Amino acid sequence: MDLTGARWRTSTRSGSNGGSCVEVADNLPGVVGVRDSKDRSGPALTFAPASWRAFVAYTKRF
């Protein structure tokens, strides 16, 4: 999956824990990218937007 042009952002729930968090890019059509903030040039996972929304909604329950 080509993530060229992705605008990565860190979760608003990320604290000051030394950078151990994920970054999300949801500005591309048809795909949401997720990567490790400590390895920005490493691999990224990709999700369909509906799947990502369902995941986020589920995690907000806890």
Q: What is the pLDDT of residue 30?
A: 96
Cβ neighbours of 36 (radius 10 Å)? 15
The model's pLDDT over 2-54, given as tens digits with 9 standing for 90+, comes to: 899 999 999 776 766 666 788 999 999 999 999 998 899 999 999 999 999 99
**How many angstroms separate the CA atoms of 15 and 49, rounded?**
25
pLDDT band at 62 (very low <50, low <70, confident <90, very high): confident
Q: What is the pLDDT of residue 16?
A: 65
